[in-house]
Structure 1
Amino acid sequence: MLIFDEDGQERLKQATIVIAGAGGLGSPVAVYCAAAGIGRIVLIDKDTVDLSNLNRQILHSTPDIGRRKVISAEEKLQALNPDIEVVAIHETIDAGNIGDLVGDADGIVDAMDNYPIRFLLNQTALSKGIPLFHGAIRGFHGQATTIVPGETPCLSCIFPHAPPKEVFPVVGVTPGIIGMIQAGEVIKYLTGTGTLLAGRLLLWDGLNSRTEEITVAANPHCEVCGSPQKE
């Protein structure tokens, strides 16, 4: 049974998706978006490949150490699917450039590792009226949700304050799982297939191989989205 038809595949071909981050989460998201045939993938990352990345950042390998992540990733994705366009942007995302970097994309994938930039992505998605596909990881644990402006709570509704910044080891399989969930959300959104993680926060507990789901609601006092669902 087909999940989506030729029209759905054409929607993928005509779409532009921005992936913020070419590391642990960005790698599997980009691989499966490219394999699915999303026509234009914009990768944004300022970092270079480090040996410590290789346990989880599957777009990069030992010969890539010291290279720009976006260039390493671009090569792998174009080899995987030469019929798509991959735009590699070696730049730090900030409030001054985020609007131009996203441009007229159809969606933004949050594959970052810090909440200040995530909140910028959230604000940009809201201002442009496009979805934000959020993912985050910590050790064996991860989370994902899809934010659709005007329909769901925004990231600031769900997380009014950024969690304390931590440095922690990440088990490679965790970003693989969460990244694939994010890629699945992107594909479903673009093709109009299935049910999105809209208004739901999926939690992955890799230590016990369990998923939980939390229903999230718009905050009527949210300063970012103005809560389209407020009374």
Structure 2
Amino acid sequence: MEARVSNECVERYSRQLIMPEIGMPGQAKLQSSKALIIGAGGLGCPCAQYLVAAGIGTLGILDYDVVEKSNLHRQVLHTELGVSAGIFKAESAAQNLRQLNSSCNIIPICSQLTRDNAPDVFQDYDLIIDATDNVASRYLISDVCVLTDKPLVSGSALRWEGQLTIYCYTSKDGVTGPCYRCLYPVPPPPESVTNCSDGGVIGVVPGIIGCMQALESLKILTGNEPSYSQKLYIFGGLRGVSRTVKLRPRQSSCVSCGQNPTVSLSNLPDYVEFCGMDAGDKCQILSILDKDERISVDEYQECTARSKKHILVDVRNPVELDICALPNCLNIPINRLRAASARTQIEPSQVFEKFKEITILKDAIDKNLKNAGLDTPCNVFVVCRMGNDSQIAVRIFKNLFDKENVLFQDIRGGLMAWADRIDKNMAKY
């Protein structure tokens, strides 16, 4: 039953009520609607603000994390007080949203979404909004939306770019769009996935995409057709361009929404195992090297204390070296290494010619071996921010430098582990 639009609500929402696409019927639908936002971060905060400002009846906000200082540049519902209090993001968002519109029913859910609780959580809502930042959650949310017949408004943001699409939506002519699995039946390798913690993000970009998620949600909840079902909106903030790409339709072979689905509410898969990564928005910690290919920050400190001859390679982007760095490091960004690795598949003889940084490393290795003697191995230690890219780099270096007397090892935990255990004055980011 649709809620009655009171005179007070008419005054409050008059600017949208006079639009023919909304009107009194649309506002009544919105006041009776229930939406769930999963993730109270850079996407979820602006989305929640505009849904509550527009007068949605009930808004659930699910997030298990607490507010941290690094959230504040983009997660605009949270405050410095929330950081010092260690408050849950869902509760922080709810407190501030209630001040914006006390007539809305705001339900904070301070827990992680899992295959065990997702079906029960989703059943109370009309629409689901995916504002998460990890692959495992996207598969879980999409599968449960398919099985509970909920439209899904999905957004993502990284660096200067954002994307938006709508899954599982049935149009007025009866056509249902694809689910997440229709487009991505197989998850990407864990080492290829980058999130905001790894790659960074300009805070305005998730703000823009989150606002668009709110806009598409409002269209659906007021009985209008959304713009991005079976379409992908791509926003490029650095150059100020955007484009829309048509997506493939629902796939009959899809294991979730196809003709013979194998995914059901009673046998939802282990999404962490399926994706090979945790269902969390934090930086994923990789483990792709053997134990003898890694050293701890304590072991590296001991190496430097003993003045043991070695080469240190930092594979972060040059801009990150301005934040913090270990002394006497050679900078070879991981993207350059990946490009060099790809080049070896085509023109292996030209790698050292095309990539000057690798030539500099080769010369340093040759000099080290010459000074130490050919029987003494050359130790090359590789470092990055968290110890992920450094592992990938060790793999690439071993392929590029096929020498038995060169030992490549990464520094486990990277510079953030160094800041935690060795140098408390080092900047953390």
**When the two structures are superposed, what TM-score results if normalisation uses the length of structure 1?**
0.94
State the number of aligned residues: 228
The one of 104, 107, 114 equivalent to 1:87 is 107
Residue 242 of structure 2 corresponds to residue 224 of structure 1: no
1:42 alignment counterpart:
60
- The unaligned stretches of length 5 or more in structure 2 are 1-17, 261-429
| Correspondence 1:24-173 to 2 at 5 A | 24-65=42-83, 66-147=86-167, 148=169, 151-163=176-188, 164-166=192-194, 167-173=198-204
- The unaligned stretches of length 5 or more in structure 1 are none
- 1:15-68 deviations in Å (ceiling 9; x for gaps): 110100001110011000100111100000000000000010000011110211
**Contact kept in structure 1, 2:45 and 2:76, CA below 8 Å:** yes
Look up the SS of the partner of 2:232 in the other structure: strand
Which 4+ runs in 1 deviate beyond 6 A? none
- 1:186-229 deviations in Å (ceiling 9; x for gaps): 0000112254311101111111111111111123321111069x
2:336 alignment counterpart:
none
**Contact kept in structure 1, 2:122 and 2:148, CA below 8 Å:** no
CA distance in 1, matches of 2:162, 2:124: 29
The one of 227, 241, 244 equivalent to 1:196 is 227
Q: Which structure has more strand as a fraction of its residues? A: 1
Look up the SS of the partner of 1:60 in the other structure: coil
Percent of aligned pairs with the same amino acid: 35
The one-letter amino acid paired with 1:17 is A
Residue 23 of structure 2 corresponds to residue 5 of structure 1: yes
CA distance in 1, matches of 2:205, 2:187: 21
How many angstroms does 1:103 deviate by?
2.2
CA distance in 2, matches of 1:127, 1:188: 23
Look up the SS of the partner of 1:151 in the other structure: coil
1:211 alignment counterpart:
242
- 1:55-83 deviations in Å (ceiling 9; x for gaps): 10000011110211111100111000000
How many angstroms does 1:160 deviate by?
2.5
Question: What is the root-mean-square deviation in Å for CA atoms of aligned residues?
Answer: 1.5
Look up the SS of the partner of 2:200 in the other structure: coil
Q: 1:124 to 1:72 in 2, by over 3 A?
A: same
**When the two structures are superposed, what TM-score results if normalisation uses the length of structure 2?**
0.52
Q: 1:198 to 1:94 in 2, by over 3 A?
A: same
2:218 alignment counterpart:
187
